[in-house]
Amino acid sequence: MSHSGNETFDVVVVGAGNAALTAALAASAGGARVAVLEKAPLKLRGGNTRFSGGVFRCTYSNLADLVPIVRQHDSPETVVADPYLPATYQKDIARVTGGRADPELTSVLIDRSYDTVRWMADLGVPWEFNRAVGAVTIPGASQVKLPLGGALRVKGEGVILSTTLFRLVEEADIPMLYETQAQRIVMAADGRVTGVEVRGPNGLQVLNCRALILGSGGFQANPEMRTAYLGPAWSLVKVRGTRFDTGDMLRAAFDSGAQSYGEWAGCHATPIDADAPTYGELRLTDKTNRLSYPFSVMVNLDGERFVDEGEDFNLYTYAKMGRQILQERGAVIFQIFDRKTTPLLETRYNTGTPVTADTLSELVARIEERYRALGIRNAVMLKTLEDYNAAVQDGAFNPDILDGKRTSGLRPEKTNWATRLDEPPFLAYPVSLGITFTFGGLRINTNAEVVDYLERPKP
Ligand SMILES: Cc1cc2nc3c(=O)[nH]c(=O)nc-3n(C[C@H](O)[C@H](O)[C@H](O)COP(=O)(O)OP(=O)(O)OC[C@H]3O[C@@H](n4cnc5c(N)ncnc54)[C@H](O)[C@@H]3O)c2cc1C
C-alpha cells in the first residue's frame, strides 16, 4: 500500500449523493479546484439519492411560483396548489420533531428551500408536479391537488436526479474518484484541516485540500453503529438504500474534535417487503415499500393482530407502524387483503410475491408452508381472521376519508376502513421493517461549517 501526500485540491468533497454533488458543482462554479470521493464502485454510485422518490419540500406562495421550476416538464393547468408559506413549514417541522429542531438551522432550511430547488432547475435537474405521494384527485375535476409542501419531485425520481448530477460533474471536469473511502481527517498542528486520508485503488493516500466537505450520509448501513446507537433490535434490519453509508466520516469528524448533534437514537424507517434484499437494489429503488396496510388486516407470526391498521391515513402512521413491526417476534408480519381491497394497493406491491388462496384456511396453510422457518402459529392466525370478520360493523367504506367503518369487540379494534375478508382471492404480503436513514450527525453553524464543543468552526 502506498501512502503519498502529493495531490492538492481547493475542495475535496466526500460522497456522491445529492448533498455532495450539488456542493461540488457550487464550489467548482465558484472557481475552486474540486475532487469528489465516492466509496462505491461506479455501478453502485450515488448513495441513497439514487434510490429516492425525488420528492422535495419547499415553500411557495402559489402555483405560479412553481411554474419556473417545472418549466416544460409538466402542465400547471392539470394541478392546483395551496400556498405553502414559511410559517406552515415551520409548524410542520415543529410538529414532527416535537419542537426540538434547531431554530437557526430550521430557518436557513426554510428560507433557502425555494431558491435551492430553483437553482437545481437552473443547473438542469428536471422537475414535475408530485402527483404520486400524498396528492389528491379532486372529485369531478380532471385536476390533482398537490400535497402541501411536497408539490415537486424530480422527473424520473432519484435515478434521474443522480444521473443528471453525475453528468453535470463530468461536464464541469470535476475528477470523481470511485472505490475511494475517506477514513481520516488530516489536520495541521494548529487544528486546521489540511486534507483527508483515503483508502482507494492505490492503497492509502492523503489528498490535501483547503476545504473538506462531508456529504457521506448517515450510518444506517452499519450494523455495529445501528446496534450501538439505535439499539439491539436494529442490528438485523434491512436497509432500504445504499450499503455504503456506514458513518465513516461521522466517526472521523468526532476524532477531529467535531461536536455531535441531533437524535442519535433516532432514524427514519418504513414497512417494506419482508422478502426484499438486505440492502437496497437499484432495480427496486423505493418500490419495496408496503404502505397500503390501512386497507388490510395485519397479523404477526403468532397469528395475532397487534395494531389498529386504520388509525389514520398511512402518511401519518407509517413511521410508527414500522417501529411497531420491529417489536413483533421475528420483525415479520403479514398484510392480508381480499378481492375488494386489492385494487387499492399501491403499484409498488407489484414488486413482491404474495401468498394467494381462495379460502382463509388455505391462505393460512400456505403462509405456514412458505414461511415455516419463521415459526407461524397458523391455528391462531385463522381464528384471528375469523374473529375479525365477525367483528366488522356495517357501514359505508370510503378510502378517501376516515370513514369510521370499524370493528367492535376486538383488542385492538380497527377504527377505519374495516371490511370483511370475504371475497377471494385472498392475498398475504410478508412485511418487515427497512431503515432509510439515521438522524444523528455533527453540529454545524448557519454557514454549514462543522463546529467543535466550544461552538468554534473547524478551521
Ligand atoms: C428508498 C428511499 C426513498 C427515499 N425517498 C425520498 C424522497 O422521496 N424524498 C426525500 O426527501 N428523501 C427521500 N429519501 C431520503 C434521501 O434519499 C436522502 O435523505 C438523501 O438522498 C441523502 O442525500 P445525501 O447526499 O446526504 O446522502 P447519500 O445520497 O446517501 O450519499 C452519500 C454518499 O456518500 C458516500 N460515502 C459514504 N461514506 C463514504 C466514505 N467514507 N468515503 C467516500 N464516500 C462515502 C456514499 O457512497 C454516497 O455516495 C429516500 C431514501 C431511500 C433509501
- Which domains, ranges and CATH numbers included, belong to the chain? 1-49+158-264+440-459 (3.50.50.60), 55-155 (no CATH), 271-436 (3.90.700.10)
For residue 2, pLDDT beyond 50:
no
Ligand 1 atom with minimal separation from the 183 CA: 41
Question: Is residue 132 predicted with pLDDT exceeding 90?
Answer: no
Q: Which atom of ligand 1 is nearest to the CA of 19?
A: 25
pLDDT value of residue 199: 97
The C-alpha atoms of residue 26 and residue 31 are separated, in whole angstroms, by 9
pLDDT, tens digit, for every residue of 199-220?
999 999 999 999 999 999 999 9
Compute the distance from residue 261 Cα to the ligand 1 centre, in Å.
19
Residues 6+ apart with CB under 8 A from 223: 235, 236
Per-residue pLDDT, averaged over 60-76, amounts to 96
What residues have CB less than 8 Å from 379, skipping those under 6 apart? 303
Nearest CA to ligand 1 atom 38: 216
Using the mean position of ligand 1's atoms as its centre, give its distance from the Cα of residue 47 in Å. 4
pLDDT tens, position by position, 228-254: 999 999 999 999 999 999 999 999 999
Please give the distance, rounded to the nearest whole angstrom, from the Cα atom of residue 217 to the centre of ligand 1.
6
**What are the C-alpha distances in Å from 169 to residues 27, 52, 55, 69, 375?**
11, 20, 22, 21, 51
Of 241, 240, 249, 243, nearest in space to 222 by CA: 243
* pLDDT for residue 415: 98
Predicted confidence at residue 3, as pLDDT, reads: 40
Percentage, residues of the chain above pLDDT 90: 90
| Ligand 1 pocket, CB under 6 A | 14-20, 37-40, 46-49, 51-55, 181-182, 215-217, 240-242, 244-245, 248-249, 280, 285-286, 436-437
Cα distances from 426 to residues 304, 307, 355, 415, 422, in angstroms, run 18, 20, 8, 22, 8
Average pLDDT over residues 301-309: 97
Q: In the predicted model, is pLDDT for residue 317 greater than 90?
A: no
Three-class secondary structure of residue 456 per DSSP:
coil
Residue 452 has pLDDT above 50, yes or no: yes
134 CA to centre of ligand 1 in angstroms: 22
The pLDDT score that the predictor gives to residue 313 is 86
Number of other CB atoms surrounding residue 375 within 10 Å: 11
What pLDDT, on the 0 to 100 scale, is given for residue 139?
A: 65
Q: Of all atoms in ligand 1, which is nearest to the CA of residue 436?
A: 53
Average pLDDT value for residue range 55-74: 96
Residue 425 DSSP SS3: coil
Mean pLDDT of 367-391: 97
The rounded distance, in Å, linking the Cα atoms of 60 and 306 is 40
Cα separation, 203 vs 415, whole angstroms: 59
Tell me the C-alpha to C-alpha distance, in Å, between residue 103 and each of 58, 100, 246, 310: 17, 8, 28, 34
Give the nearest ligand 1 atom to 16 CA: 49
Percent of the chain whose pLDDT exceeds 70: 97
Q: For the residues 268-290, what does the mean pLDDT come to?
A: 94
pLDDT at residue 280, as a whole number: 96
Average pLDDT over residues 315-325: 86
State which ligand 1 atom lies nearest to the alpha carbon of 46.
49
CA nearest ligand 1 atom 14, residue: 52
In eight-state DSSP terms, residue 453 is T
| Residue 1 pLDDT greater than 50, yes or no | no
User: What pLDDT is recorded for position 138?
Assistant: 66
Q: What's the gap in Å between 406 CA and the centre of ligand 1?
A: 40
The predicted model gives 357-380 an average pLDDT of 97
- Checking if the pLDDT of 129 tops 90, the result is yes
CA 49 / ligand 1 centre spacing (Å): 4
Return the residue whose CA atom lies nearest to atom 35 of ligand 1. Answer: 15
pLDDT band at 6 (very low <50, low <70, confident <90, very high): low
Question: Which residue in this structure is represented by grid cell 411560483?
Answer: 65
Task: Please compute, for residue 402, the number of CA atoms within 13 A of its CA located in the half-sphere on the CB side.
Answer: 9
Across the chain, what does the average pLDDT equal? 95
Higher-confidence residue: 410 or 8?
410
What is d(CA 69, CA 386) in angstroms, rounded to the nearest whole number? 52
